[in-house]
Amino acid sequence: MESLKNSDIFNRIQPHEYMRRFIDQKVRPDGRLLDRFRETLITSNVISTANASAMVRLGGTTVVCGIKAEVGEPSIDTPDQGYLVPNVILSPLCSSQFRPGPPSEQAQIISEFLSQLFTRQPHLIPLESLCIESANAVWVLHADIVCLNYDGNMLDASLLALTQALCQLRLPKAEVNEGVVVADKDDTFQPFEMTRFPIAATYCVFAPDAILSDPNDAEEQLTKETLTVVMDSDGDLLHVHKNGGAVMDMEKMRLCLHRTRERLAQLKPLIQ
């Protein structure tokens, strides 16, 4: 008991040195090896009032995604396409590091990341299938992604929850009748099949050579360099996002790509 108390004091006073001593032994304070992701659980249809929903538990991080579909006008540039509007919410209820008021910078960055990912990769969800009547009416999917408990790696958990919710999505049959959109909630359809869905894997770099998979909150706060790799379910590379630090050499990049493919194999059976 005394040794545990001393260890906790050491961690509070010198967190970087505390972490380094674990890393030198190729293990992390939570018992994981450097390349290990946390246990992941996915639950569908957790919000009865949403058109689709999912909850993801990634270690100590828990997020819920609820999708509500509304009728809107299409863009002039894309008259036959609907919209997906992700909105990530990090409130003080999930962690004391977040404050009430406008969305935090982290929440805005993740929301924009998700929006751009699905916009730039049209094969993931065909936005044309959200069209009710070209140049007149389309479905707008508002995806609220709420963090219930925060322990790092919000991006991976958010994308996973959004992807699972999209897999469950059903929309009411709708048509335009004399300028008014009429929807039949008793007659629903699946707007698209997620045959190729995206999965993200995030890594942080601690010290020159230690790359930690799926960083928790404590690890995120001790590192200034992160890398997120996004692949689709066929193993094709969709996006690489690096934040902070120096240029990553090819050997480290190959290591992250290899770990991401292993992560993809772990998660594919969970998404349905």
pLDDT band at 193 (very low <50, low <70, confident <90, very high): confident
Token couple for 156: 């991976």
What is d(CA 81, CA 17) in angstroms, rounded to the nearest whole number? 52
> Alpha carbon of 16 to those of 10, 29, 144: distances in Å?
10, 12, 35
Token couple for 27: 């293990």
Residues whose CB is less than 8 angstroms from the CB of residue 53 and which lie 6 or more positions away in sequence, other chains included: 44, 45, 46, 47, 64, 65, 66, 67, 165, 168
Q: pLDDT tens digits for 196-252?
A: 899 999 999 987 789 999 999 999 999 889 999 999 999 999 999 998 877 788 999
pLDDT of residue 3: 54
Summary count for the chain: helices (H), strands (E): 6, 12
Both ends of the chain: CA-CA distance in Å? 45
Residue whose structure tokens are 């925060």 = 150
> Which of 49, 40, 128, 44 is CA-nearest to residue 81?
128
Q: Which domains does the chain have, with CATH numbers?
A: 33-270 (3.30.230.70)
Please indicate, yes or no, whether the overall pTM of this predicted structure exceeds 0.85.
yes
pLDDT of residue 45: 95
Q: pLDDT tens digits for 41-91?
A: 999 999 999 999 999 999 999 999 999 999 999 999 999 999 999 999 999
pLDDT band at 177 (very low <50, low <70, confident <90, very high): confident
pLDDT band at 5 (very low <50, low <70, confident <90, very high): low
CB 218 within 8 A of CB 207: no
pLDDT more than 70, % of the chain: 98
